[in-house]
């Protein structure tokens, strides 16, 4: 249980603990979150998967603990959203030299959608796309190749283009209890003791043992 190494499995160079391969301070990753890539080097996640993330915007990608990010998942930040308040979506301010505009107005080329926030224990499926400004709650599941344009509630499964809610993973009272319990914030040794309850879905026993 060492969240500070790069490869959690011996001889598996396709899966990494994501926080240990990211260097951009505006990408914040929680402990034990994994990324698997069987096409490209998973250590290049920051380059290949976090797109339109220009320093001038100061926008952030925040991913919680114990998330599972599948191969090819993409996170499109603010600069992917050309301004729609203009009569044209062409990004004139980016080419300020061509059009005699001020360099200070570059960020008006796109709509400021905001940061991407992903909770804990979230599974992002194969080649899913998460758009700027989206918040995904704890325990959610994002289907393969889904395009997420709106917030996703905790422990909700979504899929499609654009992504829509398919169903909740558990009844509302169980979801509330899980969100309150925050097992992902427990010490790793405590989590290890409760793995049988977590894996078997025994919420009552998990909560009783944690008290």
Let me know: does 51 contact 77? Beta carbons within 8 Å: yes
3-state secondary structure the chain: CCCCCCCCCCCCCCEEEHHHCCCCCCEEECCCCEEECCCCCHHHHHHHCEECCCHHHCCCEEECCCCEECCCCEEECHHHCECCCCCCCCCHHHHHHHHCCCHHHHHHHECCCCCEEECCCCEECCCCEEECCCEECCCCEECCCCEECCCECCCEEEECCCCEEEEECCCHHHHHHHHHHCHHHCCHHHHHHCHHHHHHCCHHHHHHHHC
**Any idea which residues carry the catalytic annotation?**
82
Q: Both ends of the chain: CA-CA distance in Å?
A: 23
């Amino acid at each position: 249980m060492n969240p500070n190494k790069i490869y959690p499995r011996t001889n598996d160079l396709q899966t990494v603990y994501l926080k240990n391969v990211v260097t951009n301070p505006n990408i914040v990753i929680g402990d034990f979150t994994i990324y698997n890539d069987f096409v490209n080097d998973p250590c290049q996640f920051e380059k290949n998967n976090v797109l339109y993330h220009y320093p001038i915007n100061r926008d952030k990608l925040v991913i919680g603990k114990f998330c599972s990010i599948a191969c090819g998942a993409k996170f499109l930040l603010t600069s992917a959203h050309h301004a729609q308040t203009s009569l044209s979506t062409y990004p004139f301010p980016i080419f300020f030299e061509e059009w005699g505009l001020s360099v200070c107005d570059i960020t008006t080329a796109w709509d400021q959608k905001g940061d991407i926030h992903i909770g804990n224990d979230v599974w992002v499926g194969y080649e899913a796309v998460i758009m700027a400004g989206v918040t995904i709650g704890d325990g959610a599941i994002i289907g393969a190749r889904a395009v997420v344009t709106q917030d996703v509630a905790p422990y909700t499964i979504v899929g499609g283009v654009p992504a829509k809610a398919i169903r909740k993973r558990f009844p509302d009272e169980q979801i509330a209890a899980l969100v309150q319990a925050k097992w992902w914030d427990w010490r790793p040794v405590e989590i290890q003791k409760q793995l049988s309850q977590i894996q078997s879905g025994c919420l009552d026993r998990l909560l009783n043992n944690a008290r």
